[in-house]
Structure 1
Amino acid sequence: MRRVVKQWHCFPRRLLVPLLSLALLLLALLKLHIFNTNPKTVKVSVDPIFRERVHSYVREVLAKGCRPSFARQKMEAELLSSTPVTEPFLDKKTLLNEQIFKYPPPFGFLHMQNKLQEVLSLLPASSEERFGGRDCRRCVVIGNGGILKGLGLGPLLNQFDVIIRLNSGPVQDYSADVGNRTSIRMSYPEGCPKVWEDVDPDLKFVAVIYKSVDFHWLQAMITKTTVSLWDWLFFWQQVPVNIPIELSQFRLLNPEVIMETALDLLHYPTPRQRLWGWDQNVPTLGVSALNLATYICDEVSLAGFGYNLTQKEAPLHYFDDLPMTAMLKEAMHDVQTEKVLLKHLTASGTITDLTGGIHCNFCSR
């Protein structure tokens, strides 16, 4: 062992930087090869009768009187053994409890007290924040599902008080179908838009921590500094180098929102450390966003949710040409269990499915 160490120290230092640069370049090329495929184009033909039924249903939802605290009260009826999350976002004034440090990300911040405190010291106080500017707020969580393609729902979706978008779901070239307002953009580093399109002055970016290095990235985004070369090695996909928003627009999601989603809504097993792989007990960002919405809005609707795997050539997303079959390769999330939950919540009236991908209230009209 000593001989190996000695030989390493004798390695010419002038070659280390070029070799490291070459390694980073090869890693970047590998990522481009894996994540930038060119599947065949998916053609979409929307039944005009179905489109009109969707529009009529959304107009009905918007026309009804808003029910204060409705979604959260209904959700808590589902969570018989759960203690509601006190604050959905964390900031420098948050009183941190031991539960936050019980599990690793995304369920908590185990062994990450220092990283958490560094980020919290930068964030503005956001307690008792009211989104939407009304006493009773209607919220829509817009998924990235291909079911939105061609529906022309944009103007109606813009009428909701709070609009939550997920990851890099774009708006600029798709506003006719998905609208162009954004109240909350919720994402983790790899899912974050590489080209920022949200221009709402009241926009909030909600950061979700999935791993330790995500703290470093978030801190760099807040302070407008550069992500280190070492940190770049731990991202599985390219991440943004800048988020062009003000400090006051950053928020950090309380991991208890995800833990509640996983353990109490989806009834997944408690998180456990493994040497390799995942337990499929990590909720999708969409279902976690739904749970978050019940904390900040009075009524909650979904749009662009639902994976119909029987329609293999249907578009997976509204913004690209990936077919539905790409979802069959999903290894981290248990989408079938999530679909059962969403069907239950929509059938019970806890939430409303505007596009009918989960539970279609308007299909029989």
Structure 2
Amino acid sequence: MTQPFLWKDVPSSDELFLYAPPFGFRGLEHKVEELLNQLPDSGSVPPLGLGPDACQRCVVVGNGGVLRGLELGPLIDQYDVIIRLNSGPLGEFSGDVGNRTSIRMSYPEGSPLYWVDTDPHALFVAVVYKGVDISWTSAMVNKRSVSLWDWMFFWQKVPDRIPLEPHQFRLLNPHVIRETALDLLKYPPPTGGLWGRSQKVPTIGVSALDLASLLCDEVSLAGFGYNLSQEGAPLHYYDQLPMSAMLQQRSHSVDKETGLLRALIAGGAVADLTGGVHCSFCS
């Protein structure tokens, strides 16, 4: 079984450094060791949700516009582990998306510029897509500024502070990304240990699904599904960005991911609470 997070007291396998991010940490051995030394030991943190001996239910809350107006917030809050993605806000949207957060899974450019989770038990799970993401995560854990050199490698503004304590940070095992890409989506492996520009990468949503399968016995999705035939429909529940914006994405394969999700939902392995991918409760 894949360990979903990396810990300083659990030895790292050589496989961890075979590939560059996001498949591994090749060339980043020192930075990874430095970051892990700032994080807690695996045995010093409380169990996530109900703990490993209970039947645990996960919901991965996407940011899809399909969530708007469904008032699923109270249902979402009943799950044992609630995984949220990137900067998806709560607050005024809590009626549709809930108030509780177990995990906010993100990378620097996707993280909320202003922290939105009031749940005292919330964890930030850092996903590393490039080397500078490790440096940024270290800066957030240590509550220090990101270096001017590192700022040059971000493609949009990133937070300069995540108001959590060190024991609330986790580093995602890149094997979760690798497993999602190679085993679930059947993407070809990268060549030469490098992640090429033409290589497809999984969205953080599908990667979160794989993470949820490692943490829970039952997995549900909410706010997933891209209907590219409705180009004017809202892409997110919290803004007016149209669905057509996904057509500009070159690093993700929407068709491949939709096919995977439909197969999992139709087969009963995963439940779709909003019916945005495969609606079993629609007429």
Q: Which amino acid in 2 is paired with 1:329?
A: Q
Q: 2:214 aligns with which of 286, 291, 295?
A: 295
Pair member with larger Rg: 1
1:102 matched to 2:21? The reply is: no
Distance 2:199 2:249 in 1: 10
The match for 1:24 is none
- What's the CA shift for 1:272? 2.9
Q: Deviations over 1:170-209 (max 9, x none)?
A: 0012101111110000000000000101111211110011
Q: Distance in 2 between matches of 1:335 and 1:306?
A: 9
Give the TM-score normalised by the residue count of structure 2. Answer: 0.95
Q: CA deviation at 1:281?
A: 2.2
Provide the rounded CA distance (Å) in 2 between the counterparts of 1:88 and 1:196: 24
- 2:79 matched residue in structure 1: 160
Q: 2:99 aligns with which of 180, 184, 204?
A: 180
> Does the CA-based 8 Å contact 1:172-1:180 persist in structure 2?
yes
Instruction: Give the one of 41, 49, 53 matched to 1:132.
Output: 49
Taking the aligned partners of 2:8 and 2:129, their CA distance within structure 1 comes to 20
Letter in 1 for 2:172: L
**Is 1:88 the equivalent of 2:4?**
yes
Q: CA offsets per residue over residues 291-323 of structure 1, 9 Å max, x none?
A: 000111110000000000111111000010011
- CA-based RMSD: 1.6
Instruction: State the Cα distance separating 1:273 from its structure 2 match.
Output: 5.7
Match of 1:192 in 2: 111
Aligned pairs (5 A) from 1:275-314: 278-314=197-233
Q: Which runs of 5+ in 2 are unaligned?
A: none
Tell me which stretches of 4 or more aligned residues in structure 1 moved more than 6 Å: 274-277
Aligned residue number for residue 17 of structure 1: none
CA distances 1:327-347 after superposition (whole Å, capped 9, x unpaired): 111111111100000011111
Partner of 1:212: 131
Letter in 1 for 2:259: V
- What's the % identity of the aligned pairs? 61
1:117-176 deviation per Cα after TM superposition (whole angstroms, max 9, x unaligned):
010111101369632125111110000000001111111111111100000000012101
State how far apart, in whole Å, the 2-side matches of 1:361 and 1:131 are. 30
CA distance in 2, matches of 1:274, 1:120: 23
Give yes or no for contact 2:18–2:193 (8 Å, CA) kept in 1: no
Note if contact 1:163-1:183 (Cα within 8 Å) is conserved in structure 2. yes
Please point out which of 162, 167, 170 is paired with 1:251.
170
In structure 1, C-alpha distance between the alignment counterparts of 2:41 and 2:195, rounded to whole Å: 38
Q: Is the 8 A contact 2:220 2:271 kept in 1?
A: yes
| CA distance, structure 1, for counterparts of residue 172 and residue 123 of structure 2 | 11
Q: Partner amino acid for 1:281?
A: K
Instruction: Choose from 236, 257, 276 the match for 1:317.
Output: 236
Higher helix share: 1
Match of 1:269 in 2: 188
For 1:229, the equivalent position in structure 2 comes to: 148
CA contact (8 A) 2:20 2:194 kept: no
Distance (Å, rounded) in 2 between the aligned partners of 1:206 and 1:199: 16
Is this contact kept in 2: 1:91–1:124, CA < 8 A?
A: yes
1:63 is aligned to: none
The residue identity in structure 1 corresponding to 2:86 is: N
**Contact between 1:93 and 1:125, CA under 8 Å: does it hold in 2?**
yes
Corresponding residue for residue 179 of structure 2? 260
Q: Is the 8 A contact 1:268 1:281 kept in 2?
A: yes
Q: 1:170, 1:362 → 2: CA distance?
A: 27
Structure-2 separation of matches of 1:117 and 1:276: 22
